[in-house]
Amino acid sequence: MPLTHIALRAGKPETFRQAICDSLHRAMHETFNVPEDNDFVLITEHEAANFRYDPSYLGIVRSDDLVFIQITANNTRSVEQKKALFSRIVELLGENPGLRSEDVFVSLVEVEKENWSLGNGVAQYAENIAASAVLHI
């Protein structure tokens, strides 16, 4: 159940923003086994004064096309899956909308499954955990 937040400089066309969403979802589907209908994304656009970054931290030369991507997901993936996700995101965003790999900044925030409520005030995944625990007693 990833929740993705994308932050970028203001002024990009809707097709550019949509391509980012589509490429990210595809990468998560392919590497994190995220279902096709599990698509929750927030996009925020920022004026230059409110979008700060170091243009050369760790020797990576970034431009004003930099995109910050923060993915909050269950802490159930292996290091190999995480590496595959990062690599696939860069590959797909390079294809569409044409971002340079240097301009893709990804942060993965992992949470316990019981920390989600997907609606109705119910911790849906916690219910599944509780039911599973009862079966294993």
Query: Which of 2, 35, 55, 97 is labelled catalytic?
Result: 2
The 8 Å CB, 24+ separation contacts for 124-127 are 125/1, 125/74
> Rounded to whole angstroms, how far apart are CA atoms 61 and 42?
26
Q: Strand locations in 1-137, DSSP E?
A: 3-9, 41-46, 67-74, 104-111
First and final C-alpha spacing in the chain? 27
Let me know if 2 is a catalytic residue.
Answer: yes
- Active-site annotation, residues: 2
